[in-house]
A and B are shown apart, each in its own frame.
Chain A
Amino acid sequence: MTERERVEALLKRQKPDRVPILPFASAIGFSGLYNKLSIAEAYNSPEKTLAAQRKTARDFGWAIIPFFSYASFGGWEFGGDIKWPSSEFSQAPMITRRPLETADDVWKLKKPDLTTAGIIPLQIKFYQLSFKDDLDNEPFNIIAFVGGPVTLAANLCGIDNLGKWSIKNKEVVHHLLRITTEHSIELASYLKSLFGTDRVLPFCGEATTDNRIISPKFFEQFALPYNKELQEAMLSMGFRHLFCHICGEQNANLPYWAKIPMGDPGIISIGHEIPLSKAAQYFPSDIIMGNLEPAIIQAKTAEEVYKATRTVVEEGMKITGGYIFSPGCDVPPLSPVDNMKAMTKAVNDYGWYK
């Protein structure tokens, strides 16, 4: 089977011959540096980063769903400023000025024009380029970034403000989440109008709801209703599968995440902080994707990466609902190439189903 056929088999609830390898977010930063781009070009040059992602996936033998976005999405799009990564230690674009500073700012906030806001026009260009080809390692033409309402809100006002308001000024948080949820739904609808639903995998999920930051009670109160509304809306638009990244330490949130529809099936990407077997218990009907610790790929030797990958793959293969191998979050851009080869080799050596 090709890598594309492996992922497609899982989407049809069939068993592939081997665990597919689909690095999270197309290893956007790593692919850029591997192809001699600057780290900024990986995030702001649609033509260059698409070519880099595709060449990297081909060289290593991975599946790929072209990806063009960044974790701080929203800061620029709603009127703030970002800084493209430039230092040798920068991983991704960073927000330098948030659009919201006070609760009063929230009440005055307007949704941005999707045709001009921040990176969205560049994303549309990237998606148009990707749709020109139909490759044997791409199960979808694009993974379309839609974003999670809470993380988007935190990118607008800062997690410090969002967190404080969640205790002392709940109305303002609900108002902000109403706007970010509607923005995400409108963005998904806009993307559907341009690219349809069949070859588009919407990307949602949350990073800010990490339980090292917020409580499961916060999740239940603020993240659950708005994420549920967003994902139900996208499914009703005709998107059959959703990609949901549950970033970081969210073990205590899993009972709530499990109440949110993910598609038929959805793809649930989890960090190394959540055991694969636990994710499978909460999402028995979905495909679980993960969860090699990114820091291992960057900091350990090739032998250690190979060993750690083997452990992850062998755990993942026990999941009956379907499993895709990936790092648990973005591949660190400076990961050694030999480590990425070792990771890939381990899946190729141990990922075959009987």
Chain B
Amino acid sequence: MPSEERKKEILQKLYDAVVNMDEDAAKEWSQTALNEDVNSYEAVTKGLAAGMGKVGELYTNLEYFVPELLLCADALYAGLEILRPHIKVDKVEVKKQIILGTVEGDIHDIGKNLVKVMFEAAGWIVHDLGADVQLHRFVEEQKRINADLIGLSALMTTSMLAIPKAIEMLRADDPATAVIVGGAPLTLEIARSYGADGYAKSAGEAVKEAIRIVNLKK
């Protein structure tokens, strides 16, 4: 076991690697964490994921943009790949789950992918259906998974019209289904008129809004 001071240093290096978009450093310090017996769960949550949380803030504050976010995500995943297999599960932990996808008629997936990164960094299990997703697939996946939340994305004003239809189909199957929506043409007002439980203006705000929705649904 490393000293408290050394552990703190390793966690800080992991955090910095993500914030500084440094994939090599993320790998190096993840391996160091393993070699020096830092608890892998702590290395992920207090190092890598905490760094990604900071990245979300920087993105929301317009200090980082999509390219920076993507490179930070690469560093995050590089570290996760090393640390995840070593996370010891002491008790049965129930993680929150989200089904994500860009709706039918729309292949734009960069916003959806950024949202995926933020949810994964926050410890959610993400079921990513991809882009141009036929609406019935959201319903089928929800029947299979019974996720806490469905996330629907659209970048075009026309494909945005698939969102209320998807919500209608999901609620016909289970009226309690919780839905969060996002994408350039959407606004909070439009999201509400479509029957969504919540709306996130950017990837940086999505997890916070998701937690609010899920807590309300309890």
Chain A interface residues (CB < 8 Å from chain B): 29, 85, 87-92, 94-96, 159-160, 162-164, 166-168, 211-215, 218, 248, 294-295, 298-299, 332-334
Q: Which residues of B contact A215 (CB under 8 A)?
A: 62, 65
State how many angstroms separate the Cβ of A210 from the closest Cβ of chain B: 8
Do the beta carbons of A167 and B193 come within 8 Å of each other? no
User: Closest Cβ of chain B: how far from A163's Cβ, in Å?
Assistant: 3
In the complex, how many angstroms separate the beta carbon of B33 from the nearest chain A beta carbon?
A: 25
What is the distance, in angstroms, from B161's C-beta to the closest C-beta of chain A? Answer: 6
The number of chain B residues with a CB under 8 A from chain A is: 31
Task: Specify the chain A residue showing the minimal Cβ separation from B114.
Answer: A160
Q: Evaluate contact between A168 and B71: CB separation under 8 angstroms.
A: yes
Chain B residues contacting A214 (CB-CB under 8 Å) are 65-67
B80 to chain A, nearest CB (A): 18
**Shortest Cβ gap from A297 to chain B (Å):** 8
Which residue of chain A has its CB nearest to the CB of B187? A295
Cβ–Cβ contact B159 & A213, under 8 A: no
**Known contacts A96-B107, A295-B185, A299-B193; A166/B67 CB under 8 A:** yes
**With A85-B105, A94-B132 in contact, do A213 and B66 touch (Cβ < 8 Å)?**
yes
Tell which of B66, B67, B132, B190 touches A299, judged by Cβ atoms closer than 8 Å.
B190
Report A73 CB to chain B, min CB distance, Å. 15
Which chain B residues lie closer than 8 Å to A218 at the CB level? 65, 67
B67 with A88: CB separation less than 8 A: no
- CB-contact partner of A295 in B67, B74, B132, B190, under 8 A: B190
Tell me the smallest distance from the CB of A290 to a CB of chain B, in Å: 16
- Alpha-carbon distance between A162 and B70 when the two chains are bound, in angstroms: 11
Which residues of B (59-81) have their CB < 8 Å from a CB of A? 62, 65-68, 70-71, 74
Q: Are B158 and A163 in contact (CB under 8 A)?
A: no
Q: Nearest Cβ distance between residue B208 and chain A, in whole angstroms? A: 18
- A333–B156 CA distance with the chains assembled, in angstroms: 11
> Which residues from chain B contact A94 at a C-beta distance below 8 Å?
106-107, 132
Contact A294 B159, CB 8 Å, known A90-B105, A163-B67, A167-B68:
no
Given contacts A94-B106, A96-B107, A213-B66, 11 further A-B contacts (CB under 8 A): A89-B103, A90-B106, A160-B113, A163-B66, A167-B71, A211-B65, A212-B202, A215-B65, A218-B67, A248-B184, A299-B190
Question: In the complex the two chains form, is A91's CB within 8 Å of B110's CB?
Answer: no
CB proximity of A193 to chain B, nearest CB, Å = 35
Q: B104 on the interface (CB 8 Å rule)?
A: yes
**Residues of chain A lying within 8 A (CB to CB) of residue B200:** none
> Whose C-beta in chain A lies nearest to the C-beta of B156?
A91
A residues within 8 A CB of B190? 295, 299
Q: List 15 A-B contacts (CB under 8 A).
A: A29-B158, A85-B105, A88-B105, A91-B106, A159-B66, A159-B110, A160-B113, A163-B65, A163-B66, A164-B70, A212-B184, A213-B110, A214-B67, A248-B184, A334-B158
- Are A164 and B161 interface neighbours, CB within 8 A? no
How far in angstroms is the closest Cβ of chain A from B89?
33
A89 cross-chain contacts in B, Cβ below 8 A: 103-106, 158-159, 161-162
Q: Are A332 and B162 in contact (CB under 8 A)?
A: no
Nearest residue, chain B, Cβ from A327: B157
Contacts of A295 in B (CB 8 A): 157, 160, 185-187, 190
Q: List the B side residues contacting A294 at CB < 8 Å.
A: 157, 185
